[in-house]
Structures are given as structure tokens and as C-alpha cells.
Structure 1
């Protein structure tokens, strides 16, 4: 029996290549957020945290650990109402896929023990269940794309642009006020 390759990411060891790749993506995303977001303001941290939780961006221990650190920071901050902090929904796709494989294997073993006429019925039921699950998953994916494309709220990808636009609007407002103030000063000095 061959030993699985181990990949270490942010202090966690992954033996599943797909999960390790997902953990790398999550670590990169965390680094991206911390570079571009102002994490010194609790309100900004709360907004980013809640969006990440709602969008269920993380699937590995790397992402969940980061969310937990943000959650602890927000809970300890007296300026944040704890009821505004969303709980972290934990799912584990690798474990779920492993369980699905075991269920498929046990279903195949039971089907092979039945008579030939019952095998056809067993496969048909499996086909119907798989088809039903596939349709539900396809509808869910299409729904997620529709929600993502029609949503005006900033995501982790366009959050930087939203912040830049906000600061640009403030700067423009300050410039207009400054120009109005200079104009008033000139009219006061002229008499």
C-alpha cells in the first residue's frame, strides 16, 4: 500500500490533493483580503466577515481558522454587537465525498448479491436517485449564478473598487467644499 503525499499549508497537513489545492486558494484569498482591506476598523472587519460567512467561501481548515480568528476579534470588540456576528457554517466536502463513495460501494455490494431481475431494479433506482440529485445540484448552481450576477452588494473581488469609489466621492465632496470656502473668502476680502 503506497503512502499518500502530504502537503503542508498554513500549519495544516493535507493528504488529499484536491483539498490541498483548495486550501492554497483559500490562503491566497485570505492574504488578498488582508492586503487590501482596512482590518483596523471593527465595522469593516464585521462587514467582510459576514460576507465571507454568507458566501461560504471557505471549505478547509485554513479558511475556517481564519474565520474563527475574525469572529473572536469581533466578539472581543466592545463596539460590535455580538448579535450582528454570523455563526460559521461548517461543511467538509472531502469527508462528504468519502461517505458518498462508501455508500456507493455498499450499494453495489448489496446489488451484486440480489438476483439478476432485482439488479435491474436496483440500478434503475440508483439512476433515478443520481438523476434527481444531479438536477437539484444543477438548479442550485444556476440559482447561485443568478443571485451572484444580480446582486449589487460588494464581494471579496470587487470590494476594493467599492472602497476606492467611496473614498473618491468623499474627496470630490471635500474639493467642492474647499472651492466654495475659497470663493467666500475672496468675496469677503474684496470690499
Structure 2
């Protein structure tokens, strides 16, 4: 069996009819499909001519012919635009309407991905966070801040003065305490010496010279 694609591709010298508005070079609308580029529209026009050729040369009222045209078109990748794929879908529906078996008919393979799914390799631009403009401080706030700083400085100086005063008072109190203790100790010592002398006189013991007196004479 000859290749179906070779039979339905029109000759390169074949020109479209002048009265067909779909075949104009500037039109992007082909068979109800609006294409984005002239190249895609031209490719769709080729599919349109293939469809016209099949409809005029093959009897599509036969279930066997329909399945043959459908299967060979998919195997040989005859159509490459949505216009051609819609024709294949039409043939598939005709087989179903006529009660044919669709299990042995290949599915129509599409060439494009219509829903993009993200993957780890996808580039995701970083979100630009706009910096919030700084609010201008009012003169009243500046005055309050200055007053607060001055108050804190005065408070710190006062704390140092209080601490220094307490330290001096502590030293003076400690000195007075030592002096008082020394005087009390000296009085107690004098009383004990006096009691010792009285006992010596009582027992007729010769009294020795006072240690403090001998120290003073020296």
C-alpha cells in the first residue's frame, strides 16, 4: 500500500483560489482557528488542503475507509496543526456513530503542553520587597527626646554623687567606731592595772613600773 501522506500532499506549484479569504498571506484565521504567527497559519492552510484532498478522493461513507484514513494519518503524522487534529477527531466520531470499534484506533497525539507544571529547575524570580519610607519625626517628638536624654544624664550624675557621699560617710563612721573602741579598751586596761596594784599592796608585793610609763620615759 502506498504512503497516504504522499498521496494527499498537494504539489508545490498548487496555488490557492483567489476568492478564498482564508488562503490570503496576511490572514491568521484558518478554519476557525486564530494562529499567532504567519508560519503557523500557513502550516494550517497546508492541513486544510490535505483535508480537501481526502474528502474529494476517498469515500468516507465506508467505515473501513474512515478507519484507514484515520490510522494512516496518525502513523505518518500527516497533520501538524489543530485544524488537522480536529479532522481526525471528526473521523473518530464517525466511527463511533457507525458503531465501529475504537479500541484498535490510535489516539490523537498532541505536540504541545497546554498546562505548565512547576519543577525544581524552574526559575522563580525573587519577590522584590519595597522598603517602607521612613516617617519624618515631628519637632515635638525631637524636643521630648532631647528632654528625656538630658533628664537621664542628670539622673546618672545624681546617682554617682549619692554613691560617693555614702562612701565618704561610711569611712568616717568606721573611723569613729575604731576610735571609740580604742578609748574603751584603754579605760578597761587602766582599771585592770589599778586593781592589780591594789592587790599587790594588799599582799606586800613590790609594784613594778607601769609599762606605759616606761614607754613614755624612753
**Pairwise same-fold verdict (TM > 0.5):** no
Q: Relative contact order (C-alpha < 8 Å, sep 6+): which is higher?
A: 1
| TM-score, structure 1 normalization | 0.44
Q: TM-score, normalised by structure 2?
A: 0.39
Bigger share in helix: 1
